[in-house]
Amino acid sequence: MSDPMNVLAPEHRRLRIGDAWRDAASGATFAVEDPATGKTIAEVADADVVDGLAALEVASKAMAGWAATPPRKRSELLTATYRALTERSEEVARLITLEMGKPLAEARGEVAYGAEFFRWFAEEAVRVEGRYSSAPAGGYRILTVPKPVGPCVFVTPWNFPLAMGARKIAPALAAGCTTITKPAAQTPLTMLFLARIMEEVGVPPGVVNVVTTKRAGEVVSALLVDSRTRKLSFTGSTEVGRVLLRQAADNVLRTSMELGGNAALIVCADADLDVALDGAMVAKMRNIGESCIAANRIYVEESVREEFTARFAARMGALSVGHGLDEGVDVGALIDEASVTKLDELVADAVDRGARVLVGGERPDGPGHFYPPTVLVDVPEDARMLEAEIFGPVAPILSFTSDDEVMAKANDTEYGLVGYIFTRDLQRALRFTEGLDTGMIGINRGLISDPSAPFGGVKQSGIGKEGSHEGILEYLDLTYAAIDLP
């Protein structure tokens, strides 16, 4: 098996600022580990405030030139990025697996998904439009002109190290904005590789900057209080999102927030159980369950609960656990030890309160941050896992007897990102669609992410949308001109 690290030369494990790959000003570095072994796979530059502000300086200087670049040219560069990612898919996928832990098949899926944002927004880049119209009262004309918002700061998570950056960078560049991305310290290598690809296809210096750091709080804070920053987009926990929103308020920054979730997956008695099982497995186990849109609570109507539970537990128990680069592995390593400890504690809490474990429930011996696919039943309403974002391969199954009952339980959370409904009754599906307090709903399917669809939540799950036509609007300001024309 070839070494995935061979695709990222040592000189490209540094900060990407302007036209240079540079060491941190302090010379500091930090280690990136393979979560399946705990071994260090690379050292990358550890930026401080000086480096962050240097990136903002070049992004600010590059802003006017990039905004003035013809939309078709911006479109062509995004298309070239899509093609380069597609051609080098296997290299990128192996790098993702090595630093994040997901199985290689999952990583390949992420590359395809992430690359598609560049193709989608290449097409959107040439369709940014204003309007010209007569004022209703007459006497003058109304002209609206969309303009790029300005330099953008992106803070991206570790669970989708390519895709979460792609769905911010692609629309920003399409709109004419320059960018500074601070990837998660656990998974900086994929974003550095993306920056290298974009350099190779000809994206001008200063347009895409990447600052890797273990000192995220101080570096990002310095960027947000600087008046040259005009936009913040963050994907991560609601707790951190609240902090960043408070910091962004001082400069009244445009913000996009894709925050936590507590998704309910509802299986009605009239559902096709084969479809529901397939959907539940995807919604729960995609990305090892380390996803904000993962099914957190599975509600099954009482008359089919026993059959669904038995079949779901059998499928969960049949999944193989191991290093994501090994052949035939279904479930890779979790990102770090804290994630494993959290799952241990959530399962122990549920069991202490009366829940029963049908499958899994105990971490294996040996190196790496592994946790087995786990199914629990008889989970009481006060169990912590029903309120917390599980973020791992643990599935509590609960029963319900009426739509009103399960709707109320599904909505009884501060989050509102996504819900899943399985039913063959169209009217029932529409009632759930209108009644669930979520930004997205999967009806008879467990996979909802699509670059052509608006991704985002309500309540404490976020602000704004990513993907779709709405996604580019997050990076545009609108100037209105009143033109006298008697």
DSSP, collapsed to helix, strand or coil, labels residue 320 as coil
Write down the residue that tokens 């971490």 correspond to: 363
Structure tokens that stand for 157 in this block: 């998570």
DSSP string over 109-150: HHHHHHHHHHHHHHHHHTT---EEEE-TTSSEEEEEEEEE--
Structure tokens that stand for 44 in this block: 């990358």
Residue 466's contacts (CB-CB under 8 Å, 6 or more residues apart) are 167, 168, 171, 233, 256, 258, 454, 455, 456, 474
DSSP one-letter code for 11: G
| Distance from C-alpha of 130 to C-alpha of 150, rounded to nearest angstrom | 18
Can you say how many angstroms the Cα of residue 1 is from the centroid of all Cα atoms in its chain? 29
> 414 catalytic, yes or no?
no
Element containing residue 277 per DSSP (H, E): helix 273-285
Pairing of strands 254-258, 462-463: antiparallel
Q: Assess contact for 209 and 18: CB atoms under 8 A.
A: yes
Q: Which of 13, 377, 447 is nearest to 210 (CA)?
A: 13
| Distance from C-alpha of 145 to C-alpha of 481, rounded to nearest angstrom | 8
Structure tokens that stand for 15 in this block: 């900060």
Q: Of 152, 177, 268, 292, which one is the catalytic site residue?
A: 292
Residue 118's contacts (CB-CB under 8 Å, 6 or more residues apart) are 78, 79, 81, 82, 85, 166, 170
54 phi and psi angles, rounded to 5 deg: -65, -40
Task: Decide: residue 81, CB within 10 A, 0-12 exposed, 13-18 middle, 19+ buried.
Answer: buried
Residue 381's contacts (CB-CB under 8 Å, 6 or more residues apart) are none
DSSP, collapsed to helix, strand or coil, labels residue 22 as strand
DSSP, collapsed to helix, strand or coil, labels residue 382 as coil
> 33 catalytic, yes or no?
no
Q: Of 258, 290, 466, 474, which one is the catalytic site residue?
A: 258
> Helices 302-317 and 273-285: crossing angle, nearest 10°?
50
| Distance from C-alpha of 26 to C-alpha of 214, rounded to nearest angstrom | 13
Write out the catalytic residue numbers.
Answer: 258, 292
